[in-house]
Chains A and B, each alone.
Chain A
Amino acid sequence: MVNLTIDDRPIEVPEGTTVLEAARGNGVDIPTLCYLENVQAIGACRLCMVEVEGARSLVPSCVAPVTPGMKVRTHTKRVREARKLVMELLMSDHAGDCKTCDRNEDCEFQALARKMGIRDAAWTGDVSERHFDTSTPALIRDSGKCVLCRRCVTVCKEVQGVTALFPQNRGFKTTVGPAFCHDLSEVACVQCGQCAAVCPVGAISEKDETARVWEALDDPNKFVVVQTAPAIRAALGEEFGYAPGTRVTGQMTAALRRLGFNAVFDTNFTADLTILEEGTELLTRLKAALAPEGNGNGHGHHAGPLPMATSCCPAWIKNAEYFHQDFLPNLSTCKSPQQMFGAAAKTYYSRKIAKHPTDVFVVSIMPCTAKKFECQRPEMESSWSRDVDVVLTTRELAAMIQQAGIDFVNLPDEQMDAPMGMSSGAADIFANTGGVMEAALRTAYEIVTGRQLPFDGLHVAPITTLDGVKEAALTIRGCVPEWSFLEGKTLKIAVAHGLANANRLMDKIRKGEAEYHFVEVMSCPGGCIGGAGQPRMTTQAVRKARIEAIFREDEGKTMRKSHENSQVREAYEAFFKAPLGERSHQFLHTHYFGRNRV
C-alpha cells in the first residue's frame, strides 16, 4: 500500500494506482476527457492535471502512478487556470451549436465546460476543416465536433480489433477518421458503433431515423408493429433517471402503446424461435460430425462444419465477412432474432391478421447500431418487402418518448401483445454475453437427454462473467435413444465478447490450439446490454448492473426455456412447420459472403 495526501487528506491506496484513480476512489473528482476507464489512459487532453509538491510542472493524473509521501493538490489556482485554458483552447476548435446537437444535455464536453465555469469563448482563430460523413447505414460523423480525444481510435483498435478510425495527418491538421479522411464506407467498418458509444461529444452518432417512424405512425394505412430487444428493458430507464439495472419492461410496453404502435411485440419471441432453429442446427452438425453413420442430412439439410458459431450479432457477422472468411461456413445460417422477427411479422403474423406484408411496417428497438446496417442488407427481404423497415436505438426510442410528452416514470406496467409478445427467460438472456449459449444449452440438453440442464438456476456459471473469452465443457450422460451417439461425449463451448477477443478465439481455433463444438460471439463488451445504442456511458459497473437485471428478468419467469414457448409452437404448427424445414429456410435462415478489406 502507498500513503499519500490528496488536498491535505491522507489516503492509502494499492501500489500501481494512478493519482486519478486514487482521487476518484476517495471522493475527489478530477475532470477528464480522453481518459476512458479500462480502455484508455494516455494523458493527451491535459484536463486531469494536478499539482504535485516538488514536481516542476503540472502532472496529468490519469497516467501518474502514486508514490509514497506524494502530496497532491487537485484544485489550486494554478491547476484551475491551466485546466480552464486547456478547455478554452479545445472549445475554440469545436464546431456546432449545443441546442441542435444530438448530444445536448448528454455531452461530456458540455458538462465539463459547465463544471469549470466557462462562460465565454475566450479564443478565436483557425478552425479545422469540417467533414460530414453519412456514408454508412448506421453511423454519422461530424469531424468539426471532434476534440481528438482518441477514445474511438482506441476502442476501434484495441477492443474491437477493427481500426476503421485512426488519426490522419499531423499537428493542427490532425483529423480522426478513416483512411485519408475519406468516408467510413470506404474502409472495413463493422458498424458496431462502439466509437459512438464512447465519443464524449457529438462527433460520431447513430443515424437518427425517428422521423421515418413518426411518418409510419402518422400513416393510417400502415399497421405499425414494434419489437424490442431484451437489452432495452434493462437500460431504457436510465434515460429517465432510473439507476442502471432497473427493469422497465412494463413501462416500456406502455410507452410504446402510447406512441401509437398497433402491436407491441418482443424480439424475445424470435429469440425463442432462434433457439429452436439454431439448437436444431447445432444438433444436426453434431450428428454429422459425431454419429457413427455420419449422416447429417436427417433434416434435408446439409450440415455445416464444427464449431458452429452464433449469428445473432450483425457486427460479428460483418467482422467475419471481412476478417474470417474461412470461418463463414461455421456461422449458423440462422438470421438474427431481429431479422427473424421482421420476416415472421410480415408472413406468419400478417397472414394471421389478414394484412398484406407491404401494409405492415416493422420497427425494431435495438441496443445496437449495427442492426441499422443489418436491416438494409439486400438479402433481408424474404417477405416481399424489407423484413424490417426501421431500426431505432434505445436512445432514439427515449427521444421519441420525450417528443411525445409521455411521463415515463409514472406509466403503469403493461403486458406485451399476443402472439409475438410471449417469450421465455431463455430469450431474455440473449442480452448478456454467454446468454445465447446458455439459452441454446437449456433446450439442446433437454432434447438430447430429456432432462433439465444440470446447473444451479439453469445458469452456466463459467460463461456468465465479464471475462473476454470464456470456456465450459459439459459431459452428456443419459441420452435418449435418438441421440445415443452423444452418450459420454463432452461438449466444449466458448464465448467471446468484444471483437478483439473474438479474433483471438478465432486464431486459437485456426491454429488447432483449442477445439470447440459451439462458439458464441457478441461484438460489444458485455453483450447487447453494452451495445452502442444504449444510454451513455456504459461503464463496467453499468454493464454488471444491466446483466444482473437481465438475469432477474429471466429468473422471474415460470417459462425459462425456449422450447416451452407455446406461441412459438403455434407459429410452427400454423406456418413454419418444423425447425430447419423448407419455410424456415425461406424465411428464417440466410447466407454470408466475403467482403474486401480495402
Chain B
Amino acid sequence: MSVNVQHECACGAASEETLLARLDEVIAEYRERPGALIPVLQIAQGIFGYLPECALKRIAVGLDKSYSEVAGVVGFYSFFSTQPRGRHLIRVCLGTACYVRGGKQLLDALKNRLGIDVGQTTPDRNFTLDVARCFGACGLAPALMIDDDVHQRVKTARLQAILDQYKDGTPVPSPAE
C-alpha cells in the first residue's frame, strides 16, 4: 500500500524557507522534551497547512527520530495530512447520533457534489473533505463543521446553500443560522 506524499513543497517557493525557519525554532524548543513528536507535528501542520515531505524530514532529523517512525505516526492519526489542504476543511460527523440521523447520506452527497473522496481536496483547493467522530453536538445531529463553524441538523437539500457561503474563501453569515 503506497501513499503519495507531496514530493515538493506546495507551500509556495517564496515562503518555504521562512516556514522551515519557523519550524526549526519549534524543533529547537521541543527537542529536549519527552514526547515531542506529536506536538511538533501538530504545530508544523499549523505552519504549513499540511505536512509536506520537507517538513517531515526536517522534523525527523531535528528530533533524532527515524523518518519511518515519523511517517508511521503521521499515518496513524487521521488529524495529520500529507496532502495540501483546501482553504476550508469540511468535517462530517459520523459519530453514532449523527450516523443514525443521516450523517452517512450527508457525506455521500458532499462527495458527489464536490467530486472528491474523503481526505481529498477539490481541484480549486477550496474544500478538503474529511470525517469526524463526534463534536459533542449530538442533540443537533446530523452535524458538520466547516473550519470552526458548526452546522446543525443539516439536510442534503440545504448543502449547496451552506457550501455557497464559503465560495470566495470567506464565510458569509447566513440569516437562517
A181 to B78, CA, bound (A): 17
Which of B92-120 touch A at CB < 8 Å?
none
- Assess whether B69 is in contact with A180, with CB atoms less than 8 Å apart: no
Is B60 located at the chain interface by the 8 A CB criterion? yes
Is A320 located at the chain interface by the 8 A CB criterion? no
Give chain A residues whose Cβ lies under 8 Å from the Cβ of B68: 163-166, 168, 177-179, 187
Q: With both chains docked as a complex, state the minimum distance between the C-beta of A83 and any C-beta of chain B, in angstroms.
A: 28
Of B2, B60, B68, B70, most A-chain CB atoms within 10 Å: B68
A167 to B69, CA, bound (A): 8
Smallest CB gap from B78: residue in A = A170
Contact of A131 among B1, B61, B69, B76 (CB under 8 A): B1
- Assess whether B2 is in contact with A166, with CB atoms less than 8 Å apart: no
- Assess whether B3 is in contact with A180, with CB atoms less than 8 Å apart: yes
Give chain B residues whose Cβ lies under 8 Å from the Cβ of A131: 1-2
Is B82 located at the chain interface by the 8 A CB criterion? yes
Smallest CB gap from A188: residue in B = B66
Give chain B residues whose Cβ lies under 8 Å from the Cβ of A188: 66-67
Which of B1-57 touch A at CB < 8 Å?
1-3, 5, 56-57
Q: Dominant SS at the A interface?
A: loop
- Assess whether A597 is in contact with B67, with CB atoms less than 8 Å apart: yes
Is A175 located at the chain interface by the 8 A CB criterion? yes
- Assess whether A170 is in contact with B2, with CB atoms less than 8 Å apart: no
- Assess whether A164 is in contact with B66, with CB atoms less than 8 Å apart: yes
Give chain B residues whose Cβ lies under 8 Å from the Cβ of A167: 72, 76
Please give the number of chain B residues whose Cβ is less than 8 angstroms from any Cβ of chain A in the complex: 20
Is A490 located at the chain interface by the 8 A CB criterion? no
Which of A126-179 touch B at CB < 8 Å?
128-129, 131, 143, 157, 162-170, 173, 175, 177-179
Is B71 located at the chain interface by the 8 A CB criterion? yes
Smallest CB gap from B71: residue in A = A179
- Assess whether B75 is in contact with A168, with CB atoms less than 8 Å apart: yes
Smallest CB gap from A183: residue in B = B2
Which of B122-165 touch A at CB < 8 Å?
none
Give chain A residues whose Cβ lies under 8 Å from the Cβ of B67: 178-179, 187-188, 597-598
Smallest CB gap from B77: residue in A = A170
Give chain A residues whose Cβ lies under 8 Å from the Cβ of B71: 166, 168, 178-180
- Assess whether A169 is in contact with B76, with CB atoms less than 8 Å apart: yes
- Assess whether B2 is in contact with A169, with CB atoms less than 8 Å apart: no
Contact of A180 among B2, B65, B78 (CB under 8 A): B2
A367 to B54, CA, bound (A): 38
Which of A572-598 touch B at CB < 8 Å?
597-598
Of B2, B61, B66, most A-chain CB atoms within 10 Å: B66
- Assess whether B57 is in contact with A175, with CB atoms less than 8 Å apart: no
Which of A99-146 touch B at CB < 8 Å?
128-129, 131, 143
Is A182 located at the chain interface by the 8 A CB criterion? yes
Give chain A residues whose Cβ lies under 8 Å from the Cβ of B56: 179
Contact of B3 among A143, A169, A598 (CB under 8 A): A169
Give chain B residues whose Cβ lies under 8 Å from the Cβ of A162: 66
Question: In the complex where A166-B72, A169-B76, A179-B70 touch, is A597 in contact with B2 (Cβ < 8 A)?
Answer: no
Q: With both chains docked as a complex, state the minimum distance between the C-beta of A38 and any C-beta of chain B, in angstroms.
A: 22
A77 to B139, CA, bound (A): 47
- Assess whether A143 is in contact with B1, with CB atoms less than 8 Å apart: yes
Q: With both chains docked as a complex, state the minimum distance between the C-beta of B118 and any C-beta of chain A, in angstroms.
A: 13
Which of A334-392 touch B at CB < 8 Å?
none
- Assess whether B1 is in contact with A181, with CB atoms less than 8 Å apart: yes
A179 to B67, CA, bound (A): 6
- Assess whether A169 is in contact with B70, with CB atoms less than 8 Å apart: no
Smallest CB gap from A130: residue in B = B1
A188 to B68, CA, bound (A): 9
Give chain B residues whose Cβ lies under 8 Å from the Cβ of A179: 56, 67-68, 70-72
- Assess whether B2 is in contact with A187, with CB atoms less than 8 Å apart: no
A163 to B68, CA, bound (A): 7
A184 to B66, CA, bound (A): 13
Contact of A598 among B5, B61, B75 (CB under 8 A): B61
A379 to B39, CA, bound (A): 43
A162 to B66, CA, bound (A): 7
Of A143, A164, A168, most B-chain CB atoms within 10 Å: A168
A364 to B78, CA, bound (A): 48
A301 to B76, CA, bound (A): 53
Which of B71-93 touch A at CB < 8 Å?
71-72, 75-76, 78, 82
Contact of B66 among A168, A180, A187 (CB under 8 A): A187
A interface with B by C-beta (< 8 Å): 128-129, 131, 143, 157, 162-170, 173, 175, 177-182, 187-188, 597-598
Contacts A131-B2, A163-B69, A180-B71 aside, 14 further interface pairs with beta carbons under 8 A come to A131-B1, A157-B66, A168-B1, A170-B76, A173-B1, A179-B67, A180-B82, A181-B2, A181-B3, A187-B67, A188-B67, A597-B61, A598-B57, A598-B67
